[in-house]
Amino acid sequence: MKKTHKLYKYFLLSFVVILLDQAVKLLVHYNMDPGLAGEIKVLGSWLKIHYVLNPGMAFGLKLGSVYGKLILTLFRLLATVGIAYYMSLLVKRKAHTGLIWCVALILAGAVGNVVDSTFYGVFLNNAPAGSPTPWFHGQVIDMIYLDIWEGHLPKWLGGQYYALWPIFNIADSAIFLGVAVILVMQRRFFKDAEDKKQDNETNKDTTTPSAGTTAN
């Protein structure tokens, strides 16, 4: 019962982040116009709410195939199952709690974007034109725009208009935060795991009968 309760609280964090992510996406979808027409400035030109649809991966990358989106969505589904299983293993192995919280954030972000890809093509009718089926072809809703710099590049770099930062959503933020904290704290997170492994091996060696010893 104790292990189940521990696992439950991490999944609860994932569930809360997923709900928040989906609530914000639906609020944006039903209350904002896409693009510049519906843009809302929060902190001047630095932080804006800007509704866009992302048909592919992070930063708008795509797989160059008719079934590329389907492959991407199925991959996301498999990755989500893998992350959930990995988090369960971490709890079972009594890994550092900070590491498990970070994995819970990553899981939430993965699920949040999987929901968009799987269902939004049907329920929000936002699948790209020409999609073989609206299922698994939904476009991810992005809205958080950190506009650090935007403008035209110098002519010797092409002179094209360019925005420094991409537009993202709460699910992306959860993934980024989880990964960033793991990278910064990896020595502490994984040192504890290594110490526990060594302690278990030491305890095993001390309790294992030496060679040639027979039980009475």
> DSSP string covering 38-94, please?
G-EEEETTTEEEEEEEE-SSGGG---SSTTHHHHHHHHHHHHHHHHHHHHHHHHHTT
Is residue 107 predicted with pLDDT exceeding 80? Answer: yes
Confidence band, pLDDT 50/70/90 cuts, at residue 148: confident
Number of neighbouring beta carbons within 10 Å of residue 117 = 25
- Which residues are bridge partners to 201 per DSSP? none
Contacts of 105 (CB under 8 A, 6+ apart): 13, 14, 17, 174, 175, 177, 178
Number of neighbouring beta carbons within 10 Å of residue 30 = 8
Q: What is the pLDDT of residue 114?
A: 95
Is residue 50 predicted with pLDDT exceeding 70? Answer: yes
Q: Please say if 172 is a catalytic residue.
A: yes
Q: Please say if 147 is a catalytic residue.
A: no
167 burial via Cβ count (<10 Å: 0-12, 13-18, 19+):
buried
Quick: pLDDT tens for 158-207: 777 776 778 999 999 999 999 999 999 999 998 866 666 665 566 665 66
Its pTM surpasses 0.95: no
Is residue 53 predicted with pLDDT exceeding 60? Answer: yes
Quick: pLDDT tens for 115-134: 999 999 999 999 988 888 99
- Considering the candidates 21, 116, 147, 172, report the single residue annotated as catalytic: 172
- Considering the candidates 142, 147, 192, 199, report the single residue annotated as catalytic: 142
Q: Percent of the chain beyond pLDDT 90?
A: 59
